[in-house]
Amino acid sequence: MKLVTKDIVDIYMKTDHTNSWLDHYSNSVDEEYVCQRWLRESAAKRFIYEVIYRSLFDTVSKQRVLDIGGGLTGLTSYLAGKHEYVLADILAHDHIDEVARLTNAVNREFVYNQDWLGMTEEPYDLVLANDIFPNVDQRLEMFLEKFIPQCSRVRMLLTWYDTPRYYMTKRLDGDEVMCLLAWNSSQIREVLAKFESKIINCDWSLFDKSTESVFDNGRQACIVEFQGNLEHI
């Protein structure tokens, strides 16, 4: 477990590998992707990206990877070309038509424009979820229950708020307007405790540390890795 702090991000900026990867593998069209713009604009997001994805850049062996909600960037087609990489994303920030250029680049379909819950049960070396749980998607426990049994590792970013934060939202399948309260650290700990034996380098104390947020909206963040039930496939 790794808490994302300003000090850690400042140290990361001495190398900034994610920015170097973007420069090397992207073209001018890729710069229009929303997720790519977020990476370019935020050192914290680039640090998090490196921690979560770096093993896929470093390894020479092909990995079977499922990326939940990873979005589209100039690095997407590179990962899909190097690995058996699959992206499950509802594409809230990009249009489905933009997927064709990426799939043509690697000559295979690898983007599934759907909710992760509907993905078929297949074995993976690595399942990734970068900045999705629990405040974009509150089904954290369901996610871990589904994917820990069918992979070797799960690596994810979890975010929370130390002070209450909420959003007025509207259902896509109905007329109700609902108030969505973002999670706090206690709620995350309650779920993670059920999977404690699977957490690599578990450190509950990081949820008790009061640190200045690396994000403009004040959310706290930590990177957590889980040991899956499968050996490397």
Half-sphere exposure of 92 (CA within 13 A, CB side): 8
Nearest residue to 221 via CA among 39, 10, 8, 68: 8
Residue 95 banded pLDDT, cuts 50, 70, 90: confident
- 134-181 pLDDT, tens digit each: 999 999 999 999 999 999 999 999 999 999 999 999 988 888 999 999
Average pLDDT, the chain: 95
- Could you tell me the pTM of the whole model? 0.95
Q: Sketch the domain layout of the chain as residue ranges.
A: 2-227
- Own/partner contacts of 60-66, CB < 8 Å, gap of 24 or more, are 63/125, 63/126, 64/123, 64/124, 64/125, 64/126, 64/233, 65/124, 65/125, 65/126, 65/127, 65/128, 66/119, 66/124, 66/126, 66/127, 66/128, 66/147, 66/151
Q: According to the CATH classification, is domain 2-227 in 3.40.630.10?
A: no
Residue 92 clears pLDDT 90, i.e. is over it: no
- Residue 233 clears pLDDT 70, i.e. is over it: no
Q: Which amino acid, one-letter code, is at 158? A: L
Three-state DSSP at 2 gives strand
Amino acid occupying residue 210: S
Q: How confident is the model at residue 101 (pLDDT cuts 50, 70, 90)?
A: confident
Residue 81 half-sphere exposure toward CB, CA atoms < 13 A: 12
186-226, pLDDT tens digit by residue? 999 999 999 999 999 999 999 998 799 999 999 999 999 99
In this structure, the chain runs to a length of 233
Give residue for tokens 């690095």: 75
